[in-house]
Chain A
């Protein structure tokens, strides 16, 4: 067995001095597709944030609030995913005069998320679903070993959401996604981690779980 990408052993997680999750033990191996399930406020985002901090491999992130800069264009927001690959001077230049090659690289990704030709639009003028797709495009452009997504497709319709989850699966070897749709979870996950009452209640391969097992998390 290969070494885990990240490992937590009996950890207490929280923020602002308050524990949200207790006794968390979790190992993530390369190639796993993990879906986190649980009621809102149960600690999915906290767990994702902790995993993001601990991961040392190149990681892409789709935060719940998108983390976009409204007054910049779609192109610039997507390009933010790869800012750390370039020097400061290059980044300043790209902010003012993006190269054609840079634009076309982003345009390719925008095509995938269904925002083709919208690179020059300001993000503040976009709808909620479009913003989410910009955030997804940023992660797709960034690429890497792992993608962490916090409800990455909630603002999209089911068909689009499913297609984009598949794209994430194709681009990243390992994924850890917080979702709220049980069917979707069973479809994309190889392993499902269910959170309930301040701890991990379920941690099993997706093939061994039924819809009823998962719905128990929400009761």
Chain B
């Protein structure tokens, strides 16, 4: 029997330990100088290169469309077989590797071609889609009353699929929003999307341009539900494929696939080198410190997100902040939620200098805003007594205690996602697993890359299992299917 109090104490202890171990200094000599320059950029956005920016925006959308389409179709095909252990394991591994890691891995097979970006989004998304779609299909079966035993395929096509279709559609729309974020972030490692433009502008201290890119990204992602018209989806998809075809690709040498397959075989097997040295280098010198840093960062980020969510969710509840306040709160939370955490971390890194602080802040803000938004929506839907209090008293006396179960479930659910994202923060130079993975990619040691990816997958799985067990032990009411309920978030 796991008690909530014990979980809370363990969580607090882990956070204190993580804060003690973490390097959270703002090392930048004068963050105010950069801030002032960015502030100047905010006031003077630079739209002087509309062609380049619009091209990058189009490609951002194109990568997202093709990647999500690939993921959704593959996921839909796998969903009916999700109960089979091999399929489930394959899906777990697909989604445990972050899009950026997939891209790093695929660079050595498909090079800088658009296929890299599409696969980097499509592969992990296929794993996620398969899981969520299978849950929808299961629910649909429970709801339907079938006359007699009918064949599985008939059952699927006639009963389960039609019933699950509306949910699948909403979920795909939500995933498309995630896909836009992933696509933009892929620009940071070289694909020609808005992330690339943002990174370039920042590195050249062209803050006006950076602000313009960010504004364009928000203008794209915020009204997604307005411009995404389902009947036009085939047109969008064809246009996306066409747009991706226009990308000029540097030639790849022949036999890239075979070379890659040979490269991922551990060096001692290939060249007869010493196993001891290889294992020591990969696991003791890289995987261990990388995992520790990943766990520390994710713990701090999770604690930050939890605190932010608990404090900020009433920002969209009219009973607490009033009607106008709820509109403002909604705007702030949606913008925070829409900017990818990696992008936010990159920007904060330019201001605060290299340490864990920018990454922890970015992860905490982004995930905290997501949890706050979901909680706030639930809070708005709670039935209230006619004589219920208002303002902060309503928050503390009514909403927070009634939403505790959801709050913990959401935090535990985001834990796994925060861990995955903490690992990739290493690409920004913080010592998490991503840092070691990238340095091995740069020295073309693909065997080490794969070994470290396996470590990161195992870490994600361990946290996922623990989180699921805690969620089950701590929940008061019925099972909360968070992926399913997320589809309602708009």
A59 at the interface (CB under 8 A from B): yes
Would you call B391 and A71 a contact (CB within 8 A)? no
Contact of B387 among A52, A65, A70 (CB under 8 A): A52
Known: A71-B402, A71-B404. A59 touches B397 (CB 8 A): no
Known: A83-B393, A88-B393. A69 touches B387 (CB 8 A): no
Which residues, 379 to 401 on B, are CB-close (under 8 Å) to A?
Answer: 383-389, 391-393, 396-398, 401
Residue ranges of A at the interface with B (Cβ–Cβ < 8 Å): 49, 52-53, 59, 61, 63, 65, 67, 69-72, 76, 80, 83-84, 88, 91-92, 95, 124
How far does the Cβ of A82 sit from chain B's closest Cβ, in whole Å?
10
How far does the Cβ of A77 sit from chain B's closest Cβ, in whole Å?
9
Contact of A84 among B384, B389, B392, B396 (CB under 8 A): B389
Interface size of B by Cβ–Cβ distance < 8 Å?
18
Instruction: Work out how many contacts link A and B, with CB atoms closer than 8 A.
Output: 51
Contact of A92 among B392, B401, B476 (CB under 8 A): B392
- The binding surface of chain B is classed by DSSP as helix
How far does the Cβ of A8 sit from chain B's closest Cβ, in whole Å?
17
Which residues from B are CB-within-8-Å of A76?
397, 401
Would you call A88 and B392 a contact (CB within 8 A)? yes
How far does the Cβ of B145 sit from chain A's closest Cβ, in whole Å?
28
Would you call A61 and B396 a contact (CB within 8 A)? no
> Which of B387, B396, B397, B404: most chain A Cβ within 10 A?
B387
Which residues from B are CB-within-8-Å of A61?
385-387
Would you call B389 and A95 a contact (CB within 8 A)? no
A80 to B394, CA, bound (A): 10
Known: A83-B393, A88-B393, A91-B393. A63 touches B401 (CB 8 A): no
Known: A70-B402, A71-B401. A95 touches B385 (CB 8 A): no
Which residues from A are CB-within-8-Å of B402?
69-71
Known: A71-B402, A88-B391, A124-B476. A95 touches B397 (CB 8 A): yes
How far does the Cβ of A176 sit from chain B's closest Cβ, in whole Å?
14
Which residues from B are CB-within-8-Å of A53?
386
Give me 13 A-to-B residue pairs in the complex whose CB atoms sit less than 8 angstroms apart, sorted by A's number: A52-B386, A67-B385, A69-B398, A71-B404, A72-B397, A80-B389, A83-B393, A88-B393, A91-B389, A91-B396, A92-B392, A92-B393, A124-B476
